[in-house]
Amino acid sequence: MGSERLYHLPGFYEPFSSFSHWLGAVVFLFLGWALLVRARNNRGGFRYVAAFAVAVVLMMVISGLFHMPPRGSPLHRVAERFDHAAIFVMIAGSFTPALGILFSGRSRARGLTIIWGAALVGITIKTLFFDRVPEWLGLSMYLGMGWFGAVIVFVAARGHGLNFVKPLLLGGLAYSIGAVNEYFQYFNIVPGVIQAHELHHVTVLIGAFAHWVWVWQFATWEPRADRASEGYEEPSPQTA
């Protein structure tokens, strides 16, 4: 958190952080529903799109709850672990549609195994050794998982061009800038109200929306047929 003490509201120890992600949960509930409607006829890809939609709303809800109880209280300490776990789930969920739809065969299986395996390891470490994990290590774990997406950027850009992956890049930059700003406490806009952590919440909303736009582009595409060969080739786009 920032160097200034936050102002509190009854029932909301960190008001901006809680309200911003409660609002985000509502917005992404509707956006997620729209995404699922778009992908409703995509038999093979629907589950990958659904993983993203559910992961985003789950993270927003848990974050909104986490910032309500007083810092240091028993409820806060429990909620904090769920909050950090939900971040890992959201990162993995954000890449699941691309890995499931744009890749095939062993490439798909390896990608999904790596990203969800990393999420499981991160959740385990953060849950069992929460007080022992230094902040820099936690940040590195999140960013390391997040920039695993650079592989997807390269592969997707090769098949569709830079414009296709711009939303993915924008989302990654938004998440990264917010996380680094929070770690180094560069900007505290309104001391006691909107500090580095609160700004991170804003960048999370921006990043999530950018990735929603990214997934929207290919939500109707059928996954590439499983085959022994690895790699990626341009799928045949389908209309919504």
Reported as a single tens digit per residue, the pLDDT across 5-22 is 778 888 888 999 999 999
CATH code at position 194: 1.20.1070.10
> pTM of this prediction?
0.88
Domain of residue 153 covers 15-218
Contacts 24+ apart (CB under 8 A), 177-180: 177/203, 178/202, 178/203, 178/204, 178/207, 179/139, 179/142, 179/143, 179/203, 180/139
User: Would 235 be classed as within a structural domain?
Assistant: no
pLDDT digits (tens, 9 = 90+) for 72-92: 899 999 999 999 999 999 999
Give tens-digit pLDDT for 141-169. Answer: 999 998 887 788 888 888 888 899 999 99
How many structural domains does the chain have?
1
Query: What pLDDT digit, counting tens, does each position of 29-47 carry?
Result: 999 999 999 999 999 999 9
Q: Is there a domain that residue 182 lies in? A: yes
